[in-house]
Amino acid sequence: MTRGRIQSEHFVQFFDTPDSRSRNVASYVSKTRDQRVLLVVRPVNWRLISVDLSRNGFDVDEALRSGRMAVKDADALLAIMGERKPNREIFMKEVASVVRQMALEGGVTIYGELVDLYATNAEFDGAMVIEGFWNELAQEIPMTLMCGYSAAHFVSAGTRGRLSEVCQAHAHTRAHDADLLAAWLLDTARLPFHDQPFSPQS
């Protein structure tokens, strides 16, 4: 995604299991060098991700202590933003302000699953509003952003249109080759911007 001189990458990855999510997010974050990292994640997933980060040799405590990494509680954000129509002012205050501050120090790598909480509650309109907030921010600040969704949200026939809508809000779609449900959904959706194969765990 390029807007003038602003270059950002906003992609979506679908996961079959919490373990797959944690391993893939940890792999994604571990590849950052001097970049700042923001995780907007549920506490239950953060516990798994932090363990996998440590296994990858990433010093989680040092990153948090130095301010190189920040972790935002996605459950708490959902509670204050509104469970149906996300509040833009709160997003900008609680999330965008952190990204802007980090960007003063260099590049920013982000993982976000607030959208997945809206999808969990079948509030796909809310998820798309959040995606719009992210895309707006990506026009202002160079960043690499992974949005994570559970593939199970898109299994029913009634959600296939929503799957396409989510994918179209991103520059790329991804699924690890071990996540068979996610890979099948993306293949059957026949998305021209689906990355194949994707194996960061190997």
Q: Is residue 58 part of a domain?
A: yes
Q: Is residue 97 part of a domain?
A: yes
pTM score above 0.85 = yes
Q: Is residue 115 part of a domain?
A: yes
Domain holding 138, by residue range, is 9-189
- Residue 96 carries which DSSP code? I
**pLDDT digit string, tens, across residues 2-50:** 444 568 999 999 999 999 999 999 999 999 878 999 999 999 999 999 9
Q: Is residue 22 part of a domain?
A: yes
What is the Cα Rg of the chain in Å? 16
pLDDT for res 6:
66
Low-confidence stretches of the chain (pLDDT < 50) are 1-4, 192-194, 196-202
Phi, psi for residue 112 in degrees, rounded to 5: -135, 135
Cβ atoms 77, 40 nearer than 8 A: yes
Q: Is residue 201 part of a domain?
A: no
CATH of the domain at 76: 3.40.50.300
Q: Is residue 197 part of a domain?
A: no
Q: Is residue 198 part of a domain?
A: no
Domain count, the chain: 1
pLDDT for res 104:
94
**Residue 48 token pair:** 């798994």
Q: Is residue 49 part of a domain?
A: yes
